[in-house]
């Protein structure tokens, strides 16, 4: 019979279920240890946030909660990983148009591999509201109306953020060129 939850602490739940949940996360992430570790971290963060509810549950209920949390986070993180992989593949073939609109000569200064790394890094440094729109528009080739619908924003807002984000990206890269970082 399981231990009554009133005696449960986060530490005891973690120690009891950590190894089994990690193996389960690895299975769900096709053996990717790094993603499995992230899944486990998110799942146990959920436990920490909900410890007041979980502390009084039976072992079987806690295990069911953890299984659902691991499944949910594995699905989310694997989807994110697939999306990042797809975006990186598109960088290979679609990054030039991003620059061609603003600075043709910038492309001449960068080799293809450095260019992709530079763009990725520059996008990571941008505020998310611009990064998401630029990624959707340039890399995923979605029109701005579709981006606006998906983000639940007015079209004009998305259009302005796309214009500003593109200019911010170009300006950021110009600064790096001037500093000799590129």
Output the pLDDT for position 93. Answer: 60
> Distance from CA of residue 63 to its chain's centroid?
27
pTM more than 0.75: no
Per-residue pLDDT at 103: 57
pLDDT at 1: 37
Contact 60, 3 (CB under 8 A): no
CATH 1.10.10.10 region(s) of the chain?
Answer: 101-178
- CATH number, span 101-178: 1.10.10.10
In this predicted structure, what is the pLDDT of residue 152? 92
Residues of the chain with pLDDT under 70: 1-7, 84-113, 115-116, 139, 182
Which sign, positive or negative, has the C-alpha torsion 161, 167, 169, 171? negative
Residue 94, pLDDT score: 61
The answer to whether the beta carbons of residues 139 and 68 sit under 8 Å apart is: no
- HSE at residue 4, side-chain half, CA atoms within 13 A, is 2
């Amino acid at each position: 019979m399981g231990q009554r939850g009133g005696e449960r602490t986060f530490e005891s739940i973690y120690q009891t279920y950590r190894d089994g949940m990690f193996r389960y996360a690895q299975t769900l992430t096709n053996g990717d240890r790094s993603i499995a570790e992230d899944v486990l971290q998110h799942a146990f963060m959920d436990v920490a946030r909900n410890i007041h509810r979980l502390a009084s549950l039976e072992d079987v209920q806690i295990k069911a909660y953890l299984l659902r949390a691991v499944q949910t986070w594995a699905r989310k993180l694997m989807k994110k990983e697939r999306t990042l992989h797809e975006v990186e593949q598109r960088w290979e073939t679609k990054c030039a148009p991003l620059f061609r609109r603003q600075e043709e000569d910038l492309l001449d200064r960068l080799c293809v591999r450095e260019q992709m790394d530079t763009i990725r890094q520059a996008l990571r440094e941008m505020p998310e509201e611009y990064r998401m729109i630029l990624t959707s528009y340039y890399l995923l080739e979605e029109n701005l109306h579709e981006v606006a619908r998906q983000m639940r924003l007015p079209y004009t807002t998305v259009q302005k953020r796309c214009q500003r984000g593109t200019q911010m990206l170009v300006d950021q890269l110009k600064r790096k060129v001037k500093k000799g970082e590129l």
